[in-house]
Amino acid sequence: MTAIPMTSAPCGPLTGVAEVPGDKSISHRSLILGALAVGETRITGLLEGEDVLDTAHAMRAFGAEVIDHGGGSWSVHGVGVGGFAEPDQVINCGNSGTGVRLIMGAMATSPISATFTGDASLNGRPMARVTDPLALFGTQSVGRDGGRLPMTIVGAADPVPVHYTVPMPSAQVKSAVLLAGLNAPGQTVVIEREATRDHTERMLAGFGAEITVEQSDEGRVITLTGRPELRPQDIAVPRDPSSAAFPVCAALLVPGSDVLVPGIGLNPTRAGLFTTLREMGADLTYENERTEGGEPVADLRARFSPDMKGIEVPPARAASMIDEYPVLSVVAANATGVTMMAGVKELRVKESDRIAAMADGLRACGVNVEDGDDWWSVTGMGPGNVPGGATCVSHLDHRIAMAFMILGMAAQKPVSLDDGNPIATSFPIFEPLMASLGAQLRRDTQ
Ligand code: S3P
Protein backbone atom coordinates (compact mmCIF):
# COMPACT_ATOMS: atom_id res chain seq x y z
CA MET A 1 0.00 0.00 0.00
CA THR A 2 1.28 3.48 -0.84
CA ALA A 3 2.19 5.50 2.24
CA ILE A 4 0.15 8.60 3.05
CA PRO A 5 2.56 11.12 4.63
CA MET A 6 0.64 13.69 6.66
CA THR A 7 1.30 16.91 8.56
CA SER A 8 -0.61 18.50 11.41
CA ALA A 9 0.13 22.20 11.84
CA PRO A 10 -0.55 24.35 14.92
CA CYS A 11 -4.15 25.57 14.67
CA GLY A 12 -6.64 28.04 16.08
CA PRO A 13 -9.46 27.08 18.47
CA LEU A 14 -11.19 23.75 17.85
CA THR A 15 -14.93 24.20 18.10
CA GLY A 16 -18.09 22.31 17.22
CA VAL A 17 -19.55 18.85 17.52
CA ALA A 18 -17.40 15.74 16.97
CA GLU A 19 -19.53 12.75 16.04
CA VAL A 20 -17.04 9.90 16.33
CA PRO A 21 -17.76 6.44 14.87
CA GLY A 22 -19.07 3.34 16.64
CA ASP A 23 -17.14 1.41 19.25
CA LYS A 24 -14.61 -0.97 17.71
CA SER A 25 -14.76 -3.58 20.47
CA ILE A 26 -18.56 -3.68 20.45
CA SER A 27 -18.68 -3.71 16.64
CA HIS A 28 -16.48 -6.84 16.38
CA ARG A 29 -18.54 -8.60 19.05
CA SER A 30 -21.87 -7.65 17.42
CA LEU A 31 -20.82 -9.36 14.18
CA ILE A 32 -19.35 -12.44 15.86
CA LEU A 33 -22.20 -13.03 18.31
CA GLY A 34 -24.69 -12.23 15.55
CA ALA A 35 -23.07 -15.00 13.50
CA LEU A 36 -23.39 -17.43 16.45
CA ALA A 37 -27.07 -16.67 17.06
CA VAL A 38 -29.94 -18.31 15.22
CA GLY A 39 -31.79 -15.74 13.10
CA GLU A 40 -31.30 -12.09 12.22
CA THR A 41 -29.30 -9.68 14.39
CA ARG A 42 -29.68 -6.05 13.36
CA ILE A 43 -26.88 -3.60 14.11
CA THR A 44 -26.88 0.19 13.85
CA GLY A 45 -23.88 2.46 14.33
CA LEU A 46 -21.39 -0.25 13.38
CA LEU A 47 -17.84 1.05 13.00
CA GLU A 48 -17.05 0.68 9.30
CA GLY A 49 -13.28 0.76 9.84
CA GLU A 50 -11.00 -1.77 8.17
CA ASP A 51 -10.62 -3.89 11.32
CA VAL A 52 -14.35 -4.46 11.64
CA LEU A 53 -14.88 -4.93 7.89
CA ASP A 54 -12.29 -7.73 8.04
CA THR A 55 -14.34 -9.39 10.80
CA ALA A 56 -17.49 -9.03 8.67
CA HIS A 57 -15.70 -10.82 5.78
CA ALA A 58 -14.55 -13.52 8.17
CA MET A 59 -18.08 -14.14 9.45
CA ARG A 60 -19.22 -14.63 5.84
CA ALA A 61 -16.39 -17.10 5.33
CA PHE A 62 -17.66 -19.12 8.31
CA GLY A 63 -21.14 -19.27 6.78
CA ALA A 64 -23.08 -16.34 8.26
CA GLU A 65 -24.95 -13.98 5.96
CA VAL A 66 -23.70 -10.48 6.70
CA ILE A 67 -25.46 -7.62 4.89
CA ASP A 68 -24.42 -3.96 4.76
CA HIS A 69 -27.58 -1.84 4.48
CA GLY A 70 -25.62 1.43 4.33
CA GLY A 71 -25.03 4.19 6.86
CA GLY A 72 -23.73 1.90 9.61
CA SER A 73 -26.81 -0.32 9.47
CA TRP A 74 -26.00 -4.04 9.12
CA SER A 75 -27.69 -7.37 9.60
CA VAL A 76 -26.25 -10.78 10.38
CA HIS A 77 -28.12 -14.04 9.78
CA GLY A 78 -26.37 -16.32 12.23
CA VAL A 79 -25.71 -20.05 11.94
CA GLY A 80 -26.02 -20.86 15.65
CA VAL A 81 -23.47 -22.01 18.25
CA GLY A 82 -21.46 -24.86 16.72
CA GLY A 83 -22.83 -24.05 13.25
CA PHE A 84 -19.74 -22.46 11.66
CA ALA A 85 -18.81 -23.90 8.24
CA GLU A 86 -15.18 -24.50 7.30
CA PRO A 87 -13.87 -21.50 5.34
CA ASP A 88 -12.47 -22.28 1.88
CA GLN A 89 -10.05 -19.35 1.99
CA VAL A 90 -7.39 -18.06 4.36
CA ILE A 91 -8.98 -15.63 6.86
CA ASN A 92 -7.19 -12.28 6.64
CA CYS A 93 -7.79 -10.20 9.77
CA GLY A 94 -5.67 -7.28 8.53
CA ASN A 95 -4.41 -5.23 11.46
CA SER A 96 -6.86 -6.51 14.05
CA GLY A 97 -5.75 -8.43 17.13
CA THR A 98 -9.29 -8.30 18.48
CA GLY A 99 -10.70 -9.72 15.26
CA VAL A 100 -8.30 -12.64 14.94
CA ARG A 101 -8.24 -13.60 18.61
CA LEU A 102 -12.01 -13.51 19.07
CA ILE A 103 -12.65 -15.39 15.83
CA MET A 104 -10.10 -18.06 16.76
CA GLY A 105 -12.01 -18.55 20.01
CA ALA A 106 -15.38 -18.62 18.25
CA MET A 107 -14.32 -21.43 15.85
CA ALA A 108 -12.03 -23.36 18.22
CA THR A 109 -14.64 -25.79 19.51
CA SER A 110 -16.20 -26.67 16.13
CA PRO A 111 -14.91 -29.61 14.03
CA ILE A 112 -13.44 -27.35 11.33
CA SER A 113 -10.05 -25.89 10.48
CA ALA A 114 -9.17 -22.36 9.50
CA THR A 115 -5.95 -20.58 8.60
CA PHE A 116 -5.51 -16.98 9.78
CA THR A 117 -3.18 -14.24 8.61
CA GLY A 118 -2.86 -10.47 8.87
CA ASP A 119 -0.65 -7.51 8.02
CA ALA A 120 2.98 -7.19 9.12
CA SER A 121 1.91 -5.76 12.49
CA LEU A 122 -0.60 -8.52 13.28
CA ASN A 123 1.73 -11.26 12.03
CA GLY A 124 4.30 -10.10 14.57
CA ARG A 125 1.96 -10.25 17.58
CA PRO A 126 1.80 -13.08 20.12
CA MET A 127 -0.99 -15.61 19.60
CA ALA A 128 0.10 -18.23 22.16
CA ARG A 129 -1.81 -16.22 24.77
CA VAL A 130 -4.94 -17.42 22.93
CA THR A 131 -3.88 -20.81 21.58
CA ASP A 132 -2.60 -21.97 25.01
CA PRO A 133 -6.03 -21.79 26.67
CA LEU A 134 -7.76 -23.01 23.49
CA ALA A 135 -5.59 -26.17 23.66
CA LEU A 136 -7.31 -26.98 26.98
CA PHE A 137 -10.59 -27.39 25.05
CA GLY A 138 -8.82 -29.86 22.72
CA THR A 139 -8.05 -27.33 19.96
CA GLN A 140 -4.82 -27.68 17.97
CA SER A 141 -2.82 -24.91 16.35
CA VAL A 142 0.20 -24.68 14.08
CA GLY A 143 1.75 -21.28 13.53
CA ARG A 144 5.10 -19.68 12.91
CA ASP A 145 7.93 -19.50 15.40
CA GLY A 146 6.89 -17.77 18.63
CA GLY A 147 3.21 -18.57 18.08
CA ARG A 148 2.82 -16.01 15.29
CA LEU A 149 0.46 -15.83 12.33
CA PRO A 150 -0.06 -17.18 9.74
CA MET A 151 -1.54 -19.94 11.83
CA THR A 152 -3.94 -22.85 11.31
CA ILE A 153 -6.43 -23.69 14.04
CA VAL A 154 -7.90 -27.19 14.08
CA GLY A 155 -11.11 -26.98 16.07
CA ALA A 156 -11.84 -29.55 18.78
CA ALA A 157 -14.34 -32.13 17.50
CA ASP A 158 -15.19 -33.20 21.03
CA PRO A 159 -14.45 -30.16 23.22
CA VAL A 160 -14.32 -30.21 27.02
CA PRO A 161 -15.14 -27.14 29.14
CA VAL A 162 -12.18 -25.39 30.79
CA HIS A 163 -11.28 -23.53 33.95
CA TYR A 164 -8.75 -20.83 33.10
CA THR A 165 -7.08 -17.92 34.87
CA VAL A 166 -5.99 -15.33 32.31
CA PRO A 167 -2.31 -14.59 33.04
CA MET A 168 -2.26 -11.04 31.64
CA PRO A 169 -4.92 -8.30 31.66
CA SER A 170 -6.44 -9.01 28.25
CA ALA A 171 -10.07 -8.76 27.20
CA GLN A 172 -9.16 -10.45 23.93
CA VAL A 173 -7.87 -13.57 25.68
CA LYS A 174 -10.81 -13.63 28.10
CA SER A 175 -13.24 -13.25 25.22
CA ALA A 176 -11.57 -15.93 23.09
CA VAL A 177 -11.94 -18.44 25.94
CA LEU A 178 -15.58 -17.47 26.57
CA LEU A 179 -16.47 -17.73 22.88
CA ALA A 180 -14.81 -21.16 22.71
CA GLY A 181 -16.74 -22.15 25.85
CA LEU A 182 -20.00 -21.49 24.02
CA ASN A 183 -19.71 -24.78 22.14
CA ALA A 184 -18.24 -26.88 24.97
CA PRO A 185 -20.68 -28.89 27.07
CA GLY A 186 -20.93 -27.89 30.75
CA GLN A 187 -19.49 -24.84 32.44
CA THR A 188 -16.43 -22.91 31.29
CA VAL A 189 -14.92 -20.71 34.01
CA VAL A 190 -12.62 -17.77 33.22
CA ILE A 191 -10.92 -15.83 36.00
CA GLU A 192 -9.30 -12.46 35.48
CA ARG A 193 -7.24 -10.91 38.24
CA GLU A 194 -7.78 -7.40 36.89
CA ALA A 195 -11.06 -6.36 35.33
CA THR A 196 -10.80 -5.73 31.59
CA ARG A 197 -13.48 -4.46 29.20
CA ASP A 198 -16.60 -6.54 29.78
CA HIS A 199 -18.46 -6.14 26.48
CA THR A 200 -18.32 -9.88 25.77
CA GLU A 201 -19.94 -10.76 29.11
CA ARG A 202 -22.63 -8.07 28.73
CA MET A 203 -23.38 -9.08 25.18
CA LEU A 204 -23.45 -12.83 25.85
CA ALA A 205 -26.04 -12.17 28.55
CA GLY A 206 -27.99 -9.99 26.10
CA PHE A 207 -27.99 -12.81 23.51
CA GLY A 208 -29.47 -15.13 26.16
CA ALA A 209 -26.45 -17.13 27.32
CA GLU A 210 -26.31 -18.28 30.93
CA ILE A 211 -23.36 -16.30 32.28
CA THR A 212 -22.54 -15.13 35.80
CA VAL A 213 -19.81 -12.85 37.11
CA GLU A 214 -18.67 -12.97 40.72
CA GLN A 215 -15.90 -11.18 42.57
CA SER A 216 -13.65 -13.51 44.58
CA ASP A 217 -10.20 -13.28 46.21
CA GLU A 218 -8.76 -14.55 42.92
CA GLY A 219 -10.46 -11.83 40.87
CA ARG A 220 -13.50 -11.72 38.57
CA VAL A 221 -14.88 -15.23 38.12
CA ILE A 222 -16.94 -15.60 34.94
CA THR A 223 -18.97 -18.78 34.55
CA LEU A 224 -20.56 -19.61 31.20
CA THR A 225 -22.86 -22.54 30.54
CA GLY A 226 -22.06 -24.06 27.15
CA ARG A 227 -24.31 -24.83 24.20
CA PRO A 228 -26.95 -22.13 24.65
CA GLU A 229 -29.21 -21.14 21.79
CA LEU A 230 -28.26 -17.53 21.27
CA ARG A 231 -31.20 -15.29 20.40
CA PRO A 232 -30.63 -12.60 17.75
CA GLN A 233 -30.56 -9.01 19.00
CA ASP A 234 -31.06 -5.44 17.85
CA ILE A 235 -27.83 -3.68 18.76
CA ALA A 236 -27.20 0.08 18.73
CA VAL A 237 -23.41 0.42 18.95
CA PRO A 238 -22.41 3.39 21.16
CA ARG A 239 -19.71 5.75 19.89
CA ASP A 240 -16.15 4.72 20.71
CA PRO A 241 -14.50 6.29 23.80
CA SER A 242 -11.11 5.34 22.35
CA SER A 243 -11.86 7.44 19.24
CA ALA A 244 -13.47 10.22 21.33
CA ALA A 245 -10.12 10.49 23.11
CA PHE A 246 -8.59 12.27 20.09
CA PRO A 247 -10.96 15.25 19.70
CA VAL A 248 -11.27 15.47 23.50
CA CYS A 249 -7.50 15.69 24.04
CA ALA A 250 -7.06 18.05 21.09
CA ALA A 251 -9.67 20.42 22.58
CA LEU A 252 -7.93 20.38 25.97
CA LEU A 253 -4.61 21.38 24.34
CA VAL A 254 -5.54 24.00 21.72
CA PRO A 255 -6.20 27.50 23.17
CA GLY A 256 -9.81 28.68 22.96
CA SER A 257 -11.25 25.25 22.10
CA ASP A 258 -14.71 24.03 23.10
CA VAL A 259 -15.81 20.70 21.59
CA LEU A 260 -18.86 18.53 22.25
CA VAL A 261 -18.40 14.79 21.63
CA PRO A 262 -21.89 13.28 21.91
CA GLY A 263 -23.07 9.76 22.69
CA ILE A 264 -19.84 8.26 24.03
CA GLY A 265 -19.87 4.84 25.70
CA LEU A 266 -18.63 5.29 29.28
CA ASN A 267 -18.50 1.68 30.41
CA PRO A 268 -16.28 1.89 33.53
CA THR A 269 -13.95 -0.74 32.03
CA ARG A 270 -13.22 1.76 29.22
CA ALA A 271 -13.39 5.25 30.72
CA GLY A 272 -10.04 5.44 32.57
CA LEU A 273 -8.63 8.14 30.30
CA PHE A 274 -11.41 10.59 31.11
CA THR A 275 -10.98 10.04 34.87
CA THR A 276 -7.23 10.60 34.45
CA LEU A 277 -7.68 13.79 32.42
CA ARG A 278 -10.02 15.20 35.06
CA GLU A 279 -7.46 14.38 37.77
CA MET A 280 -4.87 16.30 35.73
CA GLY A 281 -7.15 19.33 35.79
CA ALA A 282 -8.91 19.01 32.44
CA ASP A 283 -12.10 20.98 31.85
CA LEU A 284 -13.99 17.87 30.74
CA THR A 285 -17.62 17.37 31.70
CA TYR A 286 -20.19 14.62 31.15
CA GLU A 287 -23.55 15.93 29.96
CA ASN A 288 -26.87 14.13 29.46
CA GLU A 289 -25.73 10.87 31.14
CA ARG A 290 -27.95 7.93 30.12
CA THR A 291 -28.01 4.20 29.34
CA GLU A 292 -28.18 2.98 25.73
CA GLY A 293 -28.23 -0.70 24.78
CA GLY A 294 -27.09 -1.71 28.25
CA GLU A 295 -24.03 0.57 28.17
CA PRO A 296 -23.64 3.88 30.07
CA VAL A 297 -23.40 6.79 27.64
CA ALA A 298 -22.84 10.58 27.95
CA ASP A 299 -22.04 13.64 25.83
CA LEU A 300 -18.49 14.77 26.59
CA ARG A 301 -17.63 18.46 26.60
CA ALA A 302 -13.96 19.38 26.45
CA ARG A 303 -12.58 22.91 26.69
CA PHE A 304 -9.06 24.30 26.52
CA SER A 305 -7.36 23.51 29.84
CA PRO A 306 -4.14 25.47 30.38
CA ASP A 307 -3.64 24.34 33.99
CA MET A 308 -3.20 20.59 33.61
CA LYS A 309 -0.64 18.95 35.91
CA GLY A 310 1.31 15.73 35.48
CA ILE A 311 0.14 12.89 37.73
CA GLU A 312 0.97 9.29 38.56
CA VAL A 313 -1.62 7.25 36.68
CA PRO A 314 -2.69 4.40 38.99
CA PRO A 315 -1.49 1.07 37.51
CA ALA A 316 -4.83 -0.47 38.55
CA ARG A 317 -6.49 1.82 36.01
CA ALA A 318 -4.33 0.64 33.09
CA ALA A 319 -6.77 -1.90 31.66
CA SER A 320 -9.55 0.68 31.48
CA MET A 321 -7.47 3.03 29.31
CA ILE A 322 -4.93 0.73 27.66
CA ASP A 323 -5.51 2.12 24.15
CA GLU A 324 -5.43 5.72 25.35
CA TYR A 325 -1.85 5.96 26.69
CA PRO A 326 -0.45 7.24 23.36
CA VAL A 327 -2.73 10.28 23.31
CA LEU A 328 -2.40 10.71 27.08
CA SER A 329 1.36 11.05 26.58
CA VAL A 330 0.65 13.94 24.19
CA VAL A 331 -1.49 15.66 26.85
CA ALA A 332 1.23 14.94 29.43
CA ALA A 333 3.82 16.66 27.21
CA ASN A 334 1.70 19.83 27.34
CA ALA A 335 0.96 19.66 31.09
CA THR A 336 3.17 20.94 33.89
CA GLY A 337 5.25 18.37 35.77
CA VAL A 338 5.89 14.68 35.20
CA THR A 339 3.25 12.11 34.25
CA MET A 340 4.19 8.60 35.32
CA MET A 341 2.49 5.65 33.60
CA ALA A 342 3.32 2.30 35.24
CA GLY A 343 1.93 -1.22 34.98
CA VAL A 344 1.63 -0.91 31.21
CA LYS A 345 3.69 -3.83 29.87
CA GLU A 346 0.81 -4.75 27.53
CA LEU A 347 1.52 -1.57 25.55
CA ARG A 348 4.60 -3.29 24.18
CA VAL A 349 2.54 -5.95 22.33
CA LYS A 350 -0.17 -3.84 20.73
CA GLU A 351 -0.34 -2.96 17.01
CA SER A 352 3.17 -1.62 17.72
CA ASP A 353 5.37 -1.34 20.80
CA ARG A 354 3.42 1.75 21.81
CA ILE A 355 5.87 2.91 24.48
CA ALA A 356 8.79 2.82 22.05
CA ALA A 357 6.78 4.36 19.19
CA MET A 358 5.55 7.31 21.27
CA ALA A 359 8.85 7.81 23.10
CA ASP A 360 10.76 8.05 19.78
CA GLY A 361 8.35 10.56 18.25
CA LEU A 362 7.96 12.67 21.38
CA ARG A 363 11.74 12.85 21.83
CA ALA A 364 12.14 13.86 18.17
CA CYS A 365 9.67 16.68 18.92
CA GLY A 366 11.73 17.87 21.89
CA VAL A 367 9.94 16.13 24.79
CA ASN A 368 11.78 14.29 27.56
CA VAL A 369 10.52 10.70 27.90
CA GLU A 370 11.94 7.95 30.08
CA ASP A 371 10.90 4.32 29.84
CA GLY A 372 11.42 0.86 31.26
CA ASP A 373 9.93 -2.56 30.55
CA ASP A 374 6.48 -1.81 32.01
CA TRP A 375 6.51 1.95 32.61
CA TRP A 376 7.22 5.29 31.00
CA SER A 377 7.19 8.90 32.10
CA VAL A 378 6.76 12.15 30.20
CA THR A 379 8.06 15.48 31.47
CA GLY A 380 5.49 18.15 30.70
CA MET A 381 6.74 21.35 29.04
CA GLY A 382 3.66 23.43 29.83
CA PRO A 383 0.85 24.41 27.43
CA GLY A 384 2.01 25.17 23.91
CA ASN A 385 5.70 24.66 24.71
CA VAL A 386 6.35 21.43 22.79
CA PRO A 387 8.76 22.36 19.95
CA GLY A 388 7.41 19.81 17.41
CA GLY A 389 8.96 20.03 13.94
CA ALA A 390 9.77 16.33 13.45
CA THR A 391 8.49 13.50 11.28
CA CYS A 392 7.14 10.68 13.44
CA VAL A 393 6.65 7.02 12.49
CA SER A 394 3.24 5.34 12.78
CA HIS A 395 4.53 1.71 12.80
CA LEU A 396 1.26 0.42 11.24
CA ASP A 397 -0.53 1.63 14.39
CA HIS A 398 -3.64 3.82 14.08
CA ARG A 399 -3.48 5.17 17.62
CA ILE A 400 0.18 6.19 17.26
CA ALA A 401 -0.63 7.96 13.98
CA MET A 402 -3.55 9.91 15.46
CA ALA A 403 -1.70 10.78 18.68
CA PHE A 404 1.09 12.47 16.68
CA MET A 405 -1.45 14.42 14.63
CA ILE A 406 -2.93 15.75 17.91
CA LEU A 407 0.59 16.64 19.07
CA GLY A 408 1.04 18.84 15.99
CA MET A 409 -2.15 20.82 16.70
CA ALA A 410 -0.69 22.26 19.92
CA ALA A 411 3.05 22.29 19.13
CA GLN A 412 5.17 25.26 18.09
CA LYS A 413 6.05 23.75 14.70
CA PRO A 414 4.05 21.26 12.57
CA VAL A 415 4.40 17.54 13.30
CA SER A 416 4.57 15.15 10.35
CA LEU A 417 3.82 11.47 10.03
CA ASP A 418 5.41 8.95 7.66
CA ASP A 419 2.12 7.16 6.95
CA GLY A 420 -1.48 7.93 7.86
CA ASN A 421 -2.93 4.73 6.30
CA PRO A 422 -3.39 2.95 9.67
CA ILE A 423 -5.95 5.57 10.80
CA ALA A 424 -8.58 3.88 8.61
CA THR A 425 -8.54 0.74 10.77
CA SER A 426 -10.48 2.39 13.59
CA PHE A 427 -11.36 6.02 12.72
CA PRO A 428 -11.88 6.38 8.95
CA ILE A 429 -13.37 9.89 9.29
CA PHE A 430 -10.59 11.24 11.53
CA GLU A 431 -9.23 13.73 8.98
CA PRO A 432 -12.52 15.37 7.85
CA LEU A 433 -13.89 15.34 11.39
CA MET A 434 -10.84 17.03 12.92
CA ALA A 435 -10.72 19.49 9.99
CA SER A 436 -14.38 20.40 10.59
CA LEU A 437 -13.42 21.41 14.15
CA GLY A 438 -10.61 23.62 12.83
CA ALA A 439 -7.56 21.33 12.73
CA GLN A 440 -4.94 21.99 10.05
CA LEU A 441 -4.22 18.53 8.70
CA ARG A 442 -2.83 17.93 5.26
CA ARG A 443 -1.68 15.01 3.19
CA ASP A 444 1.84 15.58 1.84
CA THR A 445 2.90 14.48 -1.60
CA GLN A 446 5.93 12.22 -1.57
C1 S3P B 1 -9.77 -5.11 22.96
C2 S3P B 1 -8.94 -5.41 23.99
C3 S3P B 1 -7.65 -4.74 24.23
C4 S3P B 1 -7.50 -3.47 23.39
C5 S3P B 1 -7.98 -3.66 21.98
C6 S3P B 1 -9.44 -4.06 21.97
C7 S3P B 1 -11.04 -5.84 22.82
O8 S3P B 1 -6.61 -5.64 23.88
O9 S3P B 1 -6.17 -3.03 23.39
O10 S3P B 1 -7.82 -2.48 21.23
O11 S3P B 1 -11.92 -5.41 22.05
O12 S3P B 1 -11.20 -6.88 23.49
P13 S3P B 1 -6.05 -6.74 24.94
O14 S3P B 1 -7.13 -7.68 25.23
O15 S3P B 1 -4.89 -7.40 24.23
O16 S3P B 1 -5.60 -5.93 26.12
Residue-wise pLDDT tens digits, 103-125:
999 999 999 999 999 999 999 99
Please tell me the predicted confidence (pLDDT) of residue 294: 76
Sheet harboring 148-154: ordered strands across? 91-92, 113-117, 148-154, 140-144
Residue-wise pLDDT tens digits, 336-379:
999 999 999 999 999 999 999 999 999 999 999 999 999 999 99
Residue 244 lies in a domain: yes
Which atom of ligand 1 lies nearest, measured to the CA of 25? 11
CA of 10 to the centre of ligand 1 (A): 32
Look at residue 293 and tell me whether its pLDDT is greater than 80: no
Q: Is 67 strand, coil or helix?
A: strand
Residue 291 lies in a domain: yes
For ligand 1, pick from 23, 24, 25 the residue to mutate: most ligand atoms within 8 Å of CB.
25
Residues 122 and 266 in one domain: no
Residues 221 and 251 in one domain: no
Residues 207 and 256 in one domain: no
Residues 368 and 222 in one domain: no
Buried (b) or exposed (e) across 94-103, using 16+ Cβ within 10 A?
bbbbbbbbbb
Contact criterion met (CB below 8 Å) for 415 and 225? no
Q: Average model confidence (pLDDT) for the chain?
A: 97
Residues 207 and 341 in one domain: no
Residue 233 lies in a domain: no
Binding-site residues, ligand 1, Cβ < 6 A: 25, 98, 170-172, 175, 197, 322-323, 346, 350
Residue 231 lies in a domain: no
For ligand 1, pick from 32, 197, 346 the residue to mutate: most ligand atoms within 8 Å of CB.
197
CA of 419 to the centre of ligand 1 (A): 23
Residues 86 and 145 in one domain: yes
Span 154-161, average pLDDT:
98
Residue ID of nearest Cα to ligand 1 atom 4? 323
Residues 168 and 289 in one domain: no
Strands (E), 83-180: 91-92, 113-117, 140-144, 148-154, 163-166
Sheet harboring 15-17: ordered strands across? 15-17, 258-265, 295-303, 283-292
Q: Which of 176, 197, 226 is the last residue of a domain?
A: 226
Nearest to 5 by CA among 442, 356, 364: 442
C-alpha 293/C-alpha 274 separation (Å) is 21
Residue 320 lies in a domain: yes
> Kind and range of the H or E element at 281?
none
Residues 116 and 170 in one domain: yes
Please tell me the predicted confidence (pLDDT) of residue 69: 98
Span 284-294, average pLDDT:
91
Residues 12 and 28 in one domain: no
Q: Which of 226, 259, 287 is the last residue of a domain?
A: 226
Residues 16 and 31 in one domain: no
Residue-wise pLDDT tens digits, 207-247:
999 999 999 999 999 999 999 999 999 999 999 999 999 99
Residue-wise pLDDT tens digits, 370-384:
999 999 999 999 999
Residue 232 lies in a domain: no
pTM above 0.95, yes or no: yes
Span 18-47, average pLDDT:
98
CA of 14 to the centre of ligand 1 (A): 30
Which atom of ligand 1 lies nearest, measured to the CA of 197? 12
Catalytic residues: 323
For ligand 1, pick from 190, 322, 397, 427 the residue to mutate: most ligand atoms within 8 Å of CB.
322
C-alpha 305/C-alpha 298 separation (Å) is 20
Look at residue 144 and tell me whether its pLDDT is greater than 80: yes
Residue 197 lies in a domain: yes
**CATH value at residue 339:** 3.65.10.10
Residues 190 and 327 in one domain: no
Residues 415 and 402 in one domain: yes
C-alpha 26/C-alpha 239 separation (Å) is 10
C-alpha 145/C-alpha 400 separation (Å) is 27
Percent of the chain with pLDDT over 90: 98
CA of 103 to the centre of ligand 1 (A): 14
Query: Could you give the count of Cα atoms lying within 13 Å of 387 in the half-sphere of its Cβ?
Result: 11
Which atom of ligand 1 lies nearest, measured to the CA of 172? 14
Q: Which of 181, 200, 226 is the last residue of a domain?
A: 226
Percent of the chain with pLDDT over 70: 100
- Give the chain's domain count: 2
Which atom of ligand 1 lies nearest, measured to the CA of 174? 14
Sequence-distant (≥ 6) Cβ neighbours of residue 410 within 8 angstroms:
10, 250, 253, 254, 334, 383, 384, 386
Indicate the pLDDT class of residue 292, thresholds 50, 70 and 90: confident
Please tell me the predicted confidence (pLDDT) of residue 104: 99
Residue 389 lies in a domain: yes
CA of 98 to the centre of ligand 1 (A): 6
Domain that holds residue 148: 24-226
Please tell me the predicted confidence (pLDDT) of residue 446: 65
Indicate the pLDDT class of residue 141, thresholds 50, 70 and 90: very high
